[in-house]
Structure 1
């Protein structure tokens, strides 16, 4: 059983799209995605430096475009079986929604453009940030985050929770860390997936009606609680709420295990989500699709793990 996963903000690296743009089939798709988002995907994926692509308004459309590009190339062969599940971490859920057929590629890019700009504005309104809490017991970690006045933004696995809050709350968390845990400040623009993003969530909610949805045949595993979703309208509502709510990737991984997933393929820029799976889903095979050189092995991985290939 196969899940295709799309990474979230922070996975981007300078020049990571360069090898993909050498493929003849990619150029027109990149132009379409750029036009829909208002972001020059080609330039930011090949030439822009780390500081430029760290900008929320650039990073998010770039990452969604990357997942759509690599997914399109991977499944360009009509004989390749489709995955059993899709999933994405944070903004990666927008890519997953498009791959599952809930959104058109153009609407996915328009949606992420609105999301990224609204989140960038919300982040600029106050001095806020995020910090990773690594180690410790889950109950004690969550209690320490709450006591400090912060909130759990990302539950990434058994040993990592990312806290979000203002400078005072994050300082309090660093000064009083949970037992047997380290608090590591993150270089991010703001307190994503927390109450500080409520203006962005409200802005996105006002725009959501512009994006037509369809129901999917292949379910998407929701960041909200790990549930399997095929209702396009319901998933769009979840995407809106996700902006100011906790991303529970650990719940997604529990669902992978419960569903009997045997393989996780992460789309470019890959490595973050398979890294989390390496710690929490040791029995599941992992594949990072980062360059076209990986395609033959990636297609073999899909054929090995997708349930449809075993039924034929």
Structure 2
């Protein structure tokens, strides 16, 4: 039986997440270390106001810290994993789980990523549910300034780009639902190029080692353990598409029979159950789930 761990990204945060973890000494130490790096308390943000927690600047570090604690608790309990992957921000948790970098290196990267992404302005992102994929692909190809940012499943995607281009696409492509996301910038699109260039300076300096287990990256859903390749893929992530639909389809090909979604929410588990019904799916969100 082969197991994969998958890690959710921005949008899966919930008020109160991580609070119960303080019952373990390791988690207490981790929250203190995080506060030293960030200059603010993850626990305070997680137990505070939903709007505040939903700000990119706070969401991303909070998710990474909580997910990293859950990873270490799983390992402390002797849980083995054969492959890891994460959705957008969740890729940082996946790389931490694969021991590509240590906790502090990951958090410093996430801190900088969250700062740059929260400063991004002038873009728009819209989630589309139940649409004609060929019609969507034609519209993306013909409208400059809009891209497929998150290919989450056969019937759920997020488009990203200039507000005009996104609105034009939404008027051309029929969908059951179109929901504008509460973000300031066009994440996972070429509009993030300036932020990605600034981020690359810190990423180039960060120490990566070869992964202990294969990682499926957002921009390339083929397994790799190479530190060089994984860093290169991560450097393209801010402007590249999250190819989650392909990642899910790759899991059975890698002989994965069980998947644990590690982190708050159940979004990835829900997508997986629909896309790969033969895979057993579970969630690890809190101490209770152990």
Q: Under a length normalisation based on structure 2, what TM-score does the superposition of the two structures give?
A: 0.94
User: Following superposition of structure 1 onto structure 2, how do residues 74-113 of structure 1 map, counting pairs within 5 Å?
Assistant: 74-77=74-77, 80-113=78-111
Task: Check if 1:244 corresponds to 2:263.
Answer: no
1:160 is aligned to 156
Deviation at 1:14, TM superposition (A): 1.2
Match of 2:147 among 143, 147, 151: 151
- How much has 1:224 moved relative to structure 2? 1.1
**Paired residue for 1:298?**
none
| Residue ranges of structure 2 left out of the alignment (5+ in a row) | none
1:215 aligns with 2:210: yes
Query: Partner of 1:176 in structure 2?
Result: 172
Q: CA offset at residue 139 of structure 1? A: 2.5
> Does the CA contact (< 8 Å) of 2:31 and 2:42 recur in 1?
yes
The alignment's C-alpha RMSD in Å is: 1.6
Deviation at 1:106, TM superposition (A): 0.6
Name the structure 2 match of 1:270: 265
Matched, 1:139 2:140: no
The corresponding residue for 2:287 is: 292
Q: Which sits farther off after the overlay, 187-196 or 130-139?
A: 130-139
TM-score normalised per structure 1: 0.88
Q: Bigger CA drift: 145-154 or 264-273?
A: 145-154
Q: What is the CA–CA distance in structure 2 between the aligned matches of 1:146 and 1:40, rounded to whole Å? A: 44
Paired position in structure 2 for 1:72? 72
Determine the structure 2 residue equivalent to 1:114.
Answer: 112
**Cα distance, 1:130 vs. partner?**
0.7
Deviation at 1:269, TM superposition (A): 0.7
Offset at residue 63 of structure 1 (A): 0.9
Measured against aligned partners, the alpha-carbon deviations of 1:131-163 in whole angstroms (never above 9, x if no partner) come to 112223323222223434411000001111110
What is the CA distance between 1:181 and its match in structure 2? Answer: 4.8
Unaligned runs of at least 5 residues, structure 1:
296-312
